[in-house]
Structures are given as structure tokens and as C-alpha cells.
């Protein structure tokens, strides 16, 4: 629900500063820190001994004696009794825990920082791989990398620090911003614009033709899709997802919106900023989605509707008409979530209700007959 906070558009400079978070971090191998050093790096208040050595971070259950664990909510504090962790990172001092504690303002923020420190080190591609095919009129920044067997089409522009993975294909006249990562076998069609700091996971397709046909002369004829796709800054898209190009203008995914795996975004859809679309969500053509909207797994929306800022669509719930801002919907014909849950609950008693209704009908008929007798 955090996503309902007002979205503030960040400046290009702020975006650039954030872009580094989107990269696979490349720390030195076998990083070891004392508890005190770790506290210092994340700005934590250290309670207890700072001399112990920390080699990683893990969950309360799985952390080993050389790892720090983290307490995401005080309601899980009891689980600390069982942990083997060397220390705990927490939002508030835990009473009765006898090992070092790193107390931070925001556990998630510290978690991200520590996980980045201890992320498995990875080599990255540099420059244009000799097996990549880059058309001579494409402009690849000197600090960008193009992986093995990738294809960069005519008039494509690729920004600073961007890494194009093995087997990717970028179509004519598309632009990829700075600090982006396209993982293996991503396909970007022609005339698409991808902003700065975007991440696209493997086997995802951006810019395929939309599903728009007209039945003329005895067959479905494709309406050409002369438009493109715009992914604004900081958009992240999972694996095996699709964003179709527009007929006119552009299909747009707003800044900071995150899309999961196997998601379908149809032609001319307009998605706002800071939305979350979970796995297997599908948005049909020309639908407009506000800022901070959340789609749970396999949710979606029919075509040509508007979904207001901060609305939430529950699992497998496809909006069928305009959704006001902030509304939480659930169900096959989506309705307000708590009402849907009441309906579902009665639904499960339907056979019983049906029997009651029959019994009651009999009784009433008997009463009526009796009344007629008494008259």
C-alpha cells in the first residue's frame, strides 16, 4: 500500500544517481566486514560488540554464524531465538537478543544496501563483442556494452553505461537511454524509446504489432501500427513479457513503473508512474492507467477504460469499466474488495441457501393453505 504515497517526479540528475541501483552490483569477492564497519556503512546505531566478522546477509532462519540477519517486523522477533546469525539488523532494539544489533531507520533501505555489498560478484560485458552485429549508422556510447550475438539495427542510439545482453535485437531507429540493462535475448522493435535506468529481463518483447484487425473482404486485415513504445526512466520489466506498439502515437509505461514476468501490455495502453504489474497481468488496448496503480497476479483490465491513481486490482481481477482513484477491486465482475469477499463467502453457502429457500417455500405454501382453510 506504500505505493499510494504521492509520486514526485525526480530530476534527470536524481535518476542518474539512482541508475546504479539497477545494475548487477559487482563488489569485490569475499567481502568481509566487522560488525562495526557494516554499521558504519549503513549508518546504523550499533548495540553490542563491533569486532565480529560478517561475510553476508540472510534470513533469520537461514543465516549462518558469519552472517547478519534482519528483522523486517517486530512481530517476527520471537524467531530470533532460533537464529544462528552473528548479528541482527533491525528497525528497533530487540530486548533479550544477546548478540550485536544494528538499529536503522528503514530496514528495507538497509537491507538493499547490505545485499548490494554482498551480492555475488559478476563479470560484465565491455564494449561491442566481436560477434555482435551493429549497423554502421547506429550510435553506441563508448561506455556502453553490446554482448555476443546481439543485433543493433540502423540508426539505433544506445546511451552511456548501458549493457545489451547476448542475443538481443534492437530495431531500426530505437533509442535506449543511459544506465539500462537489457538481458539476454530481449527484442526491441523499431521506433521505440527506452529511457534511462531501465531494466528489461530475458526474452521480453517491446514493440510488437498490436492485435488490431478489421474484417474486410472475407478476412481479418491488420490495421498498421505506425506508432511506437515509450518506456520512461526507471522502468523495469520482467522476463517473457510483451509491450505492443501503438497504432498512432505511443504505448507508454510511466517512470518508475515495475512490470513482472509474462505480462501483456497491449497497443496504445498508457500506464502512469510508479505502478506495479505482477506476473501474468494483461492490459488490453488503449486503456489508461493512473499513477501508483497495483495489479496483483494474473489481474488486468479490458480495453478502452480508465483506471484512477492508486487503484488496486486483486488477483485474477480484470477491470471491466472505469475504476475511480484508490478503489480496491476483486472478483470476476470486479467490485469493491470487502464486498466481493462477503459475496464470495455467501457464494460458498449457496447449496445450503438453496435448500433453505425450498424448505421455506414449502412452509409458506402450507401456511397459505392453512389460512385458506381457516377462512
Residues carrying an active site annotation: 267
Classified as helix, coil or strand, 27 is: coil
Q: Give the residue, chosen from 148, 304, 321, 324, that forms a contact with a second copy under the rule CB under 8 A.
A: 148
Stretch that binds a second copy, among 42-50, 77-85, 169-177, 321-329 (CB under 8 A): 169-177
Q: Given the C-alpha cell 563479470, which residue does it identify?
A: 123
Stretch that binds a second copy, among 29-37, 47-55, 91-99, 195-203 (CB under 8 A): 195-203
Cell readout for 197 is 535506468
- If the CB atoms of residues 53 and 360 are measured against a second copy, the closer one turns out to be 360
Long-range CB pairs of 169-177 (<8 Å, 24+ gap) are 171/207, 174/207, 174/228, 177/233
From edge to edge, which strands make up the β-sheet containing 306-307?
Answer: 139-140, 157-158, 175-176, 192-194, 228-231, 250-253, 270-271, 288-289, 306-307
Nearest alpha-carbon partner for 174 in 197, 157, 195? 157
Q: Give the residue, chosen from 90, 191, 196, 291, that forms a contact with a second copy under the rule CB under 8 A.
A: 191
* DSSP-derived secondary structure letter, 160: T
Cβ partners under 8 Å of residue 74, min gap 6? 91, 92, 94
Residues 63-102 that bind a second copy (CB under 8 A): none
Q: Is 256 in the site for a second copy (CB under 8 A)?
A: yes
Q: Give the residue, chosen from 41, 49, 79, 367, that forms a contact with a second copy under the rule CB under 8 A.
A: 367
Q: Given the C-alpha cell 563488489, which residue does it identify?
A: 27
Q: Least distance (Å) from a second copy to the CB of residue 95?
A: 26
Q: Give the residue, chosen from 174, 205, 251, 291, that forms a contact with a second copy under the rule CB under 8 A.
A: 205
Query: Is residue 181 within a helix (H) or strand (E), and if so which, with residue range?
Result: strand 181-182
- If the CB atoms of residues 49 and 106 are measured against a second copy, the closer one turns out to be 106
Stretch that binds a second copy, among 74-82, 83-91, 96-104, 110-118 (CB under 8 A): 110-118
Vertex 264: Cα angle to 172 and 188 (nearest 5): 15
CA atoms within 13 A on the CB side of 137: 7
Cell readout for 74 is 517486530
Q: Give the residue, chosen from 100, 165, 195, 290, that forms a contact with a second copy under the rule CB under 8 A.
A: 165
**Burial of 258 from C-beta contacts in 10 A (0-12 / 13-18 / 19+):** middle
- If the CB atoms of residues 47 and 169 are measured against a second copy, the closer one turns out to be 169
The Cα 89–Cα 108 span in angstroms is: 10
Q: Is 295 in the site for a second copy (CB under 8 A)?
A: no
Q: Give the residue, chosen from 204, 270, 287, 291, that forms a contact with a second copy under the rule CB under 8 A.
A: 204
Q: Is 37 in the site for a second copy (CB under 8 A)?
A: no
Q: Is 160 in the site for a second copy (CB under 8 A)?
A: no
Number of helices (H) and strands (E) in the chain: give both, helices first: 5, 39
Q: Least distance (Å) from a second copy to the CB of residue 249?
A: 6
Q: Least distance (Å) from a second copy to the CB of residue 94?
A: 20
Angle between helices 35-42 and 107-117 (to 10 degrees): 120
Stretch that binds a second copy, among 19-27, 32-40, 45-53, 88-96 (CB under 8 A): 19-27
Residues 300-359 that bind a second copy (CB under 8 A): 300, 302, 315-316, 318, 320, 331-333, 335, 339, 342-351, 353-354, 356-357
Amino acid at each position: 500500500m506504500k505505493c499510494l504515497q504521492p509520486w514526485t517526479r525526480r530530476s534527470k540528475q536524481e535518476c542518474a544517481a539512482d541508475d546504479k541501483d539497477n545494475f548487477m552490483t559487482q563488489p569485490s569477492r569475499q567481502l568481509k566486514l566487522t560488525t562495526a564497519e557494516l554499521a558504519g556503512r549503513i549508518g546504523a546505531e550499533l548495540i553490542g560488540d563491533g569486532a565480529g566478522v560478517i561475510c553476508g546477509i540472510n534470513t533469520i532462519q537461514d543465516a549462518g554464524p558469519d552472517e547478519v540477519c534482519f528483522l523486517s517486523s517486530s512481530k517476527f522477533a520471537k524467531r530470533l531465538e532460533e537464529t544462528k546469525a552473528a548479528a541482527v539488523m533491525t528497525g528497533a532494539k530487540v530486548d533479550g537478543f544477546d548478540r550485536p544489533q544494528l538499529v536503522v531507520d528503514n530496514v528495507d533501505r538497509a537491507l538493499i544496501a547490505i545485499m548490494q555489498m554482498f551480492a555475488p560478484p559478476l563479470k560484465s560485458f565491455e564494449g561491442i563483442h566481436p560477434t555482435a552485429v551493429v549497423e554502421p549508422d547506429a550510435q553506441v556510447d563508448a561506455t556502453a556494452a553490446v554482448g555476443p550475438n546481439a543485433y543493433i539495427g540502423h540508426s539505433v542510439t544506445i546511451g552511456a553505461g548501458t549493457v545489451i545482453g547476448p542475443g538481443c535485437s534492437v530495431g531500426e531507429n530505437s533509442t535506449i537511454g543511459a544506465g539500462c540493462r537489457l538481458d539476454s535475448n530481449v527484442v526491441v522493435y523499431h521506433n521505440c524509446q527506452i529511457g534511462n535506468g531501465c531494466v528489461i529481463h530475458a526474452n521480453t518483447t517491446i514493440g510488437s504489432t498490436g492485435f488490431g484487425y478489421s474484417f474486410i473482404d472475407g478476412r481479418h486485415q491488420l490495421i498498421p501500427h505506425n506508432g511506437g513504445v515509450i518506456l520512461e526512466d526507471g522502468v523495469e520489466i520482467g522476463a517473457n513479457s510483451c509491450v505492443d506498439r501503438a497504432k498512432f502515437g505511443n504505448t507508454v509505461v510511466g517512470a518508475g513503473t515495475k512490470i513482472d514476468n509474462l505480462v501483456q501490455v497491449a497497443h496504445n495502453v498508457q500506464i502512469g508512474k510508479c505502478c506495479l504489474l505482477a506476473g501474468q497481468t494483461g492490459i488490453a488496448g488503449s486503456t489508461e492507467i493512473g499513477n501508483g496503480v497495483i495489479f496483483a497476479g494474473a489481474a488486468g483490465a479490458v480495453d478502452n477504460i480508465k483506471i484512477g491513481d492508486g487503484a488496486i486490482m486483486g488477483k485474477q481481477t480484470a477491470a471491466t469499466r472505469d475504476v475511480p482513484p484508490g478503489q480496491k477491486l476483486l472478483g470476476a465482475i470486479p467490485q469493491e474488495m470487502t464486498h466481493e469477499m462477503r459475496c464470495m463467502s455467501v457464494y460458498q453457502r449457496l447449496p445450503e441457501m438453496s435448500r433453505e429457500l425450498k424448505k421455506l417455500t414449502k412452509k409458506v405454501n402450507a401456511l397459505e393453505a392453512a389460512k385458506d382453510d381457516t377462512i
